[in-house]
Structure 1
Amino acid sequence: MKLFAPLAAALLLATAGTAYAADANLGRNLAATCANCHGTNGQAVKGSGMDALAGMEKAKLLQKLADFRSGDKPASIMHQISKGYTEAQLDLIATYFAAQK
């Protein structure tokens, strides 16, 4: 019985990563939170002053996000939003937007 709790905890931790990676729509779902400002699927409204994220090169988008996180790029809210995601989540978001046209 003493081995059950550590074994159960180890199994839960092992399956948590698998469940996270198994969601094929995770990038899309995370990217959906950007729609309020950057438009559906990253298609910003022309003349809105917002960057269109759809089709942006992944490396460029990741660099912009890193600059927001570090404070190197001034922002009204993006510095806070970008800090709310892990590096892996930001990679998924950038991958999703790079694939959009």
Structure 2
Amino acid sequence: MKRLKSTALAALLLAAAAAHAADPNLGRNLAATCANCHGTDGKAVPGSGLDALAGESKEKLLQKLADFKSGDKPASIMHQISRGYTDEQLRLIAEYFAAQK
């Protein structure tokens, strides 16, 4: 019975991982949470004092997110928000914004 539970759990985890990886809109969906501050699709309102994310390089965005997550870059809220995402999710967010024009 214990082996059956372990096998079932492993199957569920694999299915969840496959469903997660199969979502072609995951980056967009994750990035949507940034719209309140950084504007729709990362196009911040000019003069708002917030960074526009659309069109920035993926590498630059990932570095900023990593600096927020580690606490190396001070912020009012981004250090808290960035810690709520995995490195893979942050990569997807950065790729999405880098692709926006």
Interval of TM-score (by shorter of Structure 1 and Structure 2): over 0.9
Equivalent pairs, count? 101
Give how far 1:41 is off.
Answer: 0.2
Q: Residues 37-96 of structure 1: CA distance to partner in whole angstroms, max 9, x if unpaired?
A: 000000000000000000000000000011111111110000000000000000000000
Give yes or no for the alignment of 1:97 onto 2:93: no
- Deviant stretches of 4+, over 4 Å: none
5+ residue gaps, structure 2: none
CA distance in 2, matches of 1:61, 1:3: 44
Equivalent in the alignment of 1:12: 12
Equivalent in the alignment of 1:75: 75
| Identity across the alignment (%) | 74
Give how far 1:3 is off.
Answer: 3.5
CA distance in 1, matches of 2:83, 2:3: 38
5+ residue gaps, structure 1: none
TM-score, normalised to structure 1, is 0.96
Instruction: Quote the RMSD (CA, aligned, Å).
Output: 0.9
TM-score, normalised to structure 2, is 0.96
Give how far 1:2 is off.
Answer: 4.8
Equivalent in the alignment of 1:84: 84
Letter in 2 for 1:99: A
SS at match of 1:31: helix
